């Protein structure tokens, strides 16, 4: 591996959909939008979550492993206008099988 290569850049360069996502997200965040990303596959949500982490985007996630109170807490954090950390998540990752 090359020492100065950003992992998120590697992820983006391997997929046209990531290229589009990488261009859209900064603009959508700047304009104050909230984003829902749906996938049938939890492994795809894992990959997207890694990308978001490397790009330092705060997100919430709901899939089949999130139940009851944790699910509602994630929804509440996503919908919140204010956050204790100063930045609320603007992306929600959702499994269509949740």
Output 73 or 85, whichever has higher pLDDT.
Answer: 73
Return the pLDDT at 98: 54
What's the order of all strands across the beta sheet hosting 91-95? 35-39, 91-95, 59-62
The first and second tokens of residue 27, run together, are 């603009």
| pLDDT at residue 51, as a whole number | 92
Residue-level pLDDT at 4: 65
Q: How far is CA 13 from the centre of its chain?
A: 18
Which band of pLDDT confidence, cut at 50, 70 and 90, is reported for residue 83?
low
Rg of the chain taking only CA atoms, in angstroms: 14
Q: What is the pLDDT of residues 22-45, one digit of tens each?
A: 999 999 999 999 999 999 999 999
Residues 75, 19, 42, 56, CA torsion sign: negative
């Amino acid at each position: 591996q090359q020492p100065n290569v950003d992992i998120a850049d590697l992820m983006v360069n391997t997929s046209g959909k990531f290229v589009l996502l990488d261009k859209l997200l900064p603009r959508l965040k700047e304009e104050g939008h909230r984003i829902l990303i749906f996938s049938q596959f939890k492994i795809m949500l894992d990959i997207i979550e890694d990308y978001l982490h490397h790009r330092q985007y705060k997100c919430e996630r709901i899939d089949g492993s999130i139940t009851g109170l944790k699910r509602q807490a994630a929804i509440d954090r996503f919908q919140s206008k204010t956050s204790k950390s100063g930045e609320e998540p603007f992306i929600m990752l959702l499994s269509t099988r949740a």
